[in-house]
Structure 1
Amino acid sequence: MNQSNLSLPSGCILRKATSADQWSIRLLVFSAKLDPTQLRWQQFWVIECNEDLIACGQLRNFSGVQELGSLVVARAWRNRGLGTFLTQHLINTAMQPLYLECLGERLAQFYSCFGFVPVSFENLPQSLKGKFGISQLAKRLIRVPVVFMQYQVSN
């Protein structure tokens, strides 16, 4: 995916989150039923349209790696390329090997379009095993369809 081919709808901007965005970010994340822990507004990028925060995503820092997480587009703004635009921006912004965890095959297919490939829990970096351990337990015990993925840089 090439971000240069993507554009935001008229009136929308991509920017670093500010402290004023923290409650809007929390509301978006809660609305999508995503993991509400580790929401640090300083790690977020947001898309704003007409002064409304309509999408967000963050790069969490771990020892030697980063995690793409909390990617949400407000329901009324879905299917307009905002998730794609934001995902590509976060990939381009990442400074270390990049990982994510997602729920279900549909999301795994979405992220695979960007160059993410499934990786087993055992092959995750040690610094992520603590965070992803609960998901791995849920996957094993109650068959939650969690997929761990690593970004593979394409040549």
Structure 2
Amino acid sequence: MNENSLELQSGCAVRPASEQDMKSIRRLVWSAKLDPTQLRWEQFWVIECEGKLAACGQLRNFAGAQELGSLVVAKDWRDRGLGSYLTKYLIQQATEPLYLECLGSRLASFYTRFGFTEVSVQELPQSLKFKFGLSQLAKTLFRIPVTIMQYQAGF
């Protein structure tokens, strides 16, 4: 997949999630060992391929900010550009400054390709400081490699 294109492979379609997708979304989020709390189907977008849920991602709303979260591609559908497509799609859907937190340098590198840069807890809007501050506490106490990032428009 070309980094700058926004094309979805044949047989796949992106759409807002429906309530019927919630079981599949939960299964994907659990499979990726992501935080299963605060999953609201109304905030999710999904990619469906050949009648199956292949990927999901969520745009969570906070006061003056949004969080790109719970972005997962099903194991059988990885390495086909779905994660890149959904990341770009969610960036386009965002209506507020966009943030995310991710584990590990590999994921941080992935998001850097789309214009996300690392930020400190102090740089976050007030509405995200508590939520992301807990992650930073875990990072300090348990040496968990959490990175907080903000999308830089015009990248």
- The question of a shared fold, defined as TM-score above 0.5 by the shorter chain, is answered with yes
- Specify the alignment match of 1:148 in structure 2: 148
> Residues 43-58 of structure 1 correspond to what in structure 2 (within 5 A)?
43-58=43-58
Q: Which ranges in structure 1 are unaligned for 5 or more consecutive residues?
A: none
> Residues 63-142 of structure 1 correspond to what in structure 2 (within 5 A)?
63-142=63-142
Instruction: Tell me the secondary structure at the aligned position of residue 68 of structure 1.
Output: strand
Instruction: Tell me the secondary structure at the aligned position of residue 36 of structure 2.
Output: coil
Aligned residues: 153
Per the TM alignment, residue 111 of structure 1 is displaced from its structure 2 partner at its CA by: 0.3
- Identity in percent: 67
Per the TM alignment, residue 9 of structure 1 is displaced from its structure 2 partner at its CA by: 2.3
Is residue 6–residue 88 contact of structure 2 (8 Å, CA) maintained in 1?
no
Per the TM alignment, residue 46 of structure 1 is displaced from its structure 2 partner at its CA by: 0.2
Per the TM alignment, residue 45 of structure 1 is displaced from its structure 2 partner at its CA by: 0.3
Aligned mates of 2:114, 2:7 — CA distance in 1? 16
Aligned mates of 2:143, 2:125 — CA distance in 1? 23
- The more displaced of 9-18 and 78-87 is 9-18
- The more displaced of 24-33 and 134-143 is 134-143
Q: CA RMSD in A?
A: 1.0
Per the TM alignment, residue 154 of structure 1 is displaced from its structure 2 partner at its CA by: 1.4
Aligned mates of 1:69, 1:148 — CA distance in 2? 12
Q: Does 2:61 correspond to 1:61?
A: yes
Normalised to the residue count of structure 1, the TM-score between the two structures is: 0.95
Is residue 98–residue 151 contact of structure 2 (8 Å, CA) maintained in 1?
yes
Is residue 56–residue 70 contact of structure 2 (8 Å, CA) maintained in 1?
yes
- The more displaced of 8-17 and 143-152 is 8-17
Aligned mates of 2:76, 2:7 — CA distance in 1? 18
Aligned mates of 1:83, 1:31 — CA distance in 2? 15
Q: Which ranges in structure 2 are unaligned for 5 or more consecutive residues?
A: none
- Specify the alignment match of 2:9 in structure 1: 9
Per the TM alignment, residue 7 of structure 1 is displaced from its structure 2 partner at its CA by: 2.2
Question: Could you tell me which amino acid in structure 2 is paired with residue 67 of structure 1?
Answer: E
Per the TM alignment, residue 76 of structure 1 is displaced from its structure 2 partner at its CA by: 1.0
Per the TM alignment, residue 16 of structure 1 is displaced from its structure 2 partner at its CA by: 0.5
Is residue 104–residue 147 contact of structure 1 (8 Å, CA) maintained in 2?
yes
Normalised to the residue count of structure 2, the TM-score between the two structures is: 0.95
